[in-house]
Amino acid sequence: MNEWEWHMLEDKPSLESVTIAGVPVRPGDHVRLSPKKGGDVFDIALAGKIATVESIEQDYEGQLHIAVVVDDDPGRDIGMMRQPGHRFFFTEGEIEPMMETERGPAPPPSAQKTPTILVAGIGNIFLGDDAFGVEVVNRLIRCEMPEGVRVVDFGIRGFDLTCALMDGAEVTILVDACPRGGTPGDLYVVEPELKSTEPADAPQPALDAHTMNPVSVLFAAKAMGARLNKILLLGCEPQTFGPEEGCMGLSEPVALAVERAVPLLESVVKRILEGEWPLGTN
| pLDDT the model gives residue 75 | 64
CATH of domain 14-101: 2.30.30
Instruction: Provide CATH 2.30.30 ranges for the chain.
Output: 14-101
Q: Is 117 helix (H, G, I), strand (E, B) or coil?
A: strand
| pLDDT the model gives residue 26 | 87
| pLDDT the model gives residue 4 | 46
User: Among 128, 126, 124, 155, which residue's Cα sits nearest to residue 242?
Assistant: 128
10-residue stretch averages of pLDDT, the chain, 282 residues long: 45 73 86 79 78 82 83 68 73 80 45 72 91 93 86 86 82 91 92 59 48 72 75 92 83 95 92 71 40
| pLDDT the model gives residue 83 | 61
pTM for the whole structure: 0.56
Task: Give the Å distances, CA to CA, from 195 to 129, 139, 153.
Answer: 29, 32, 26
Please state which architecture CATH assigns to domain 110-273: 3-Layer(aba) Sandwich (3.40)
